[in-house]
Structure 1
Amino acid sequence: MHIGILTLTFSLPGCGSLKEKRQRMGGMHERFGRNPAVAVCESAERDRLDTSEWSFVVVAISLRQVESLCSEIEDKVQRTVDGRVSKATRELL
C-alpha cells in the first residue's frame, strides 16, 4: 500500500471576506471526498482572506495509482476553483 500527501496552496486575489473565501473554495470535500481513496481537509491559512491551503491524502495499491490520483486532483482543482494554485507539494510515504 502506498500513501501520498498532496498539499495545494491557493492565492485568492480580491477576496474580501471569509464568507467569500468559503464560496470560492466551497465544495472541495464534496468533489474529492467521495472517492474512498482520498481524504481532504483545509490544512492551513483558515483565517486569511487571500490564501487557502488544502491537503489531500491519497491511498492506493501502487505508487503509480497514487501519482495518477494526485495528478487528477491537481487538474480538476485548476479547472474548478476560483483561485490560483501558488504552490503544490507532494510527499510519498
Structure 2
Amino acid sequence: MHIAVLTMKVSLPGCASLKEKRQRMGGLHERFGRNPSVAVCESADHDRLEASEWSFVVTGTSSLQVESLCSEIEDKLQRTVDGRVLDVVREML
C-alpha cells in the first residue's frame, strides 16, 4: 500500500462570502471524494474568504498509481476552480 498527502493552497481574490467561496471551489469534496482511493477535506482557512487549503489523502497499490492520481487531482483543480493555486505540497508516506 502506497499513500500520499497532497495539500493545495488556493487564493480566491474578491471573494465576498462563504457561500461564494463554496461556489468558487466547485464542490471538490463531492467530485474527488467519490473515488474510493481518495479522501478529501478543507484542511485550513475555513473562515477566510479569500483563501482555501485542501488536503487529499491518496492510496494505491503502487507509487506510480498514487503519483498519477495526485497529478490528475492537481490538473483538475487548476482547471476547474475559480481561483489561483498558490502552493502544492505532495508528501509520500
Unaligned regions of 5+ residues in structure 2, if any? none
After TM superposition, list the pairs within 5 Å mapping 1:7-18 onto structure 2.
7-18=7-18
The residue type equivalent to 2:29 in the other structure is H
Residue in 1 that maps onto 2:40 = 40
Q: What is the alpha-carbon distance in structure 2 between the residues aligned to residue 81 and residue 31 of structure 1?
A: 12
8 Å CA contact retained: 2:24, 2:81:
yes
* Structure 1 residue ranges without an equivalent (≥5): none
TM-score by length of 1: 0.97
Deviation at 1:26, TM superposition (A): 3.3
Assess if the C-alpha contact under 8 Å between 2:2 and 2:62 holds in 1: yes
Correspondence for 2:19: 19
Identity of aligned residues (%): 75
RMSD in angstroms over aligned alpha carbons? 0.7
Runs of 4+ with >3 A deviation: none
CA–CA distance in structure 2, aligned partners of residues 26 and 50 of structure 1: 15
Aligned length: 93
Q: How far apart, in 1, do the equivalents of 2:24 and 2:76 lie?
A: 14
